[in-house]
Chain A
Amino acid sequence: MTTALRWTRANLFSTPGNAVLTSSIVLLFVWAVPPVIDWAFLRAVWTGTSRDACVGADVGACWPYIWARAGQIIYGFYPDGERWRVDIVYALGIAGTLWLTLPNIPRKWLGAALMIFAFPVAAYVLLLGGVFGLEAVPTLHWGGLLLTLVVAVVGIAASLPLGILLALGRRSELPVIRWFSVTFIEVWRGVPMITVLFMAANMLPLFLPESLDTDKLFRALVAIAIFNAAYMAEVVRGGLQAIPRGQEEAAKALGLGYWRRMTFVVLPQALKISIPGLVNNMVSMLKDTSLISVIGFLDLLGVIQAGNTDPEWASPNTALTGYLFLAIIYWAACFSLSRYSARLERNLNVGARP
């Protein structure tokens, strides 16, 4: 007890300034946290079948609204009878993620290879259908968590390698490649994401011949990948610049060609120190997926916003409950990403310069 007291005094109340700071923060918490908990959990309604359960003078969050909408939140507008296909993709995705992230599962290389090469193909075939007797499900019927994850995963998986190439290009000794990379990065970084999405969704089809008319989601994914690649490129460039010149010189002196120097010597070091910035980009990409609701897709945010206006569940607490649920989902996803990156950084710290 005395040690706790001593610690508190030494760390929280060491100076008058510190004491004021500590007290204000504690007061802020006392003022802000209990009402939220009270509303979200203590006064919340947990069961019910319609808005009647959630209407009342002293009622908090309306959770049955979320349960009732769970199907749409998870699958979007995917046909009821075909949802097992989405389930398989989710299960494969979760299994692969666990394989790659849990330390005690062996053969990470096999897992990575399967996740990089086999999983996208399987997911593409299963979700889109139209082959092997699977009913075709157009992307306009995708939505909710499914769409959010598709956009986030495809966006991250495509923008990272593209960003690495752009970062290397920006440092290239060949002027044409360097100018191209610089122009590409600066153009995409200078345009708002929403503009890019509108152009991809609505303007591109006006300019392209009909034979090149592609799926709207596909165009949006390409736009998101290219847009974010520019950001990834700048983070990777920062990492590349931090690697001493001697590293590449030593690799040159051994007779290693450009791509081998990059693959085995420069990039492993540069990417390692770029992890915080890259994960920062990934977190913001994950949240920016909700922007595709402006081009008519109902992602997680879109589905919940649409549900908020459902007369069957109209109550003073419905919309707030929806947004709180959304915030929890996004926060959990982003927080896991950031914890994983922290662990990755720790594990990769072997051989760090002292």
Chain B
Amino acid sequence: MSAIISVSGVSKFYGGFHALKNVSIEVGQGERIVICGPSGSGKSTLVRCINRLEVHDAGHIIVDGAELTDDTKRIDAVRREVGMVFQQFNLFPHLSILDNCTLAPIWVKKMPKHQADELAMEYLARVRIADQAGKYPSQLSGGQQQRAAIARALCMAPKIMLFDEPTSALDPEMIKEVLDVMVELAGEGMTMLVVTHEMGFARTVADRVCFMDGGEIVEIADPETFFTSPKSERTKLFLSQILQH
């Protein structure tokens, strides 16, 4: 399995706070990795470094053969290959759901509008909100908004999808509809990096589960090993806290 994302020795500081400490991880083509850990552990920062929403201070990040540097052109090229889904959805409130989806295909990929519309409708149908295409984000429920955000990212036909706590801002009854879409996506062979506390999702979908704490990767293992026989005490403590109820 060839690595499509290669993170080696990456450190990140926010002022005096050491958010990532010498983090290294390789993600293979088609691999699904779930990252979990307590808040402030650096898991969001790591994912946001991969499409350079955060700039790493040391180390190397290579995405699909391109190293992330200050080169804006290369960053934009990498971002075209990497889709991202945010905790707060971040749909564009002044655009309809359809226009949210077609904006980047039209302006980044120079796709003709009718073709972009068709593509967007196809993805909106796949996340089961084709009937909402003409509405504005504020008219949709949280779960629908997050599915629209996933469709928006997929419209760029990315090779990699990053999910930054995609269900954390949702009401409990909407979490499943978003996870279902993500499970389907995983079934299609998408390379996925998912920051989440949904351990059920991790168990069923992940190839590897990665536990982060204090800016470091503490443990990374296949789900079976991770959940049944974690090596580190910190992992055991975290799992006992999050799985006990």
Contact = CB atoms under 8 A, between A and B. Distances in A.
Interface string A272-296: 1000000000000000000000000
Given A252-B79, A255-B104, A351 B136 contact: yes
B86 A246 contact: yes
Contacts of A354: 138
B86 A250 contact: yes
Contacts of A255: 76-77, 79-80, 104, 108, 156
B215 interface: no
B90 A264 contact: no
B156 A352 contact: no
Contacts of B104: 254-256
Interface stretch (B18-26, B92-100, B191-199): B92-100
A253 B93 contact: no
Given A249-B86, A254-B153, A353 B94 contact: no
Interface string A220-247: 0000000000000000000000001011
B90 A250 contact: yes
A256 B53 contact: no
Interface string B60-97: 00000000000010001101101110101011111110
Contact of B93 (A251, A252, A351): A351
A350 to B, nearest CB: 6
A51 B90 CA distance: 69
Given A249-B86, A253-B51, A350-B136, A260 B107 contact: yes
Nearest to B93: A351
Nearest to B51: A253
A265 B152 CA distance: 14
Contact of A249 (B80, B90, B94): B90
Give the top 8 A-B pairs by smallest Cβ distance, nearest first. Answer: A351-B136, A250-B90, A254-B104, A255-B80, A253-B84, A246-B90, A255-B79, A255-B108
Interface of B: 51, 53, 72, 76-77, 79-80, 82-84, 86, 88, 90-96, 103-104, 107-108, 136-138, 149, 152-153, 156
Given A254-B104, A265-B103, A268-B94, 17 more contacts: A246-B86, A246-B90, A249-B86, A250-B92, A251-B92, A252-B51, A253-B83, A253-B86, A254-B153, A254-B156, A255-B104, A256-B103, A256-B104, A264-B92, A265-B92, A351-B93, A354-B138
20 contacts: A246-B90, A247-B92, A250-B86, A250-B90, A250-B149, A252-B53, A253-B79, A253-B82, A253-B83, A253-B153, A254-B156, A255-B108, A256-B104, A264-B103, A265-B92, A268-B94, A269-B93, A350-B94, A350-B136, A353-B138
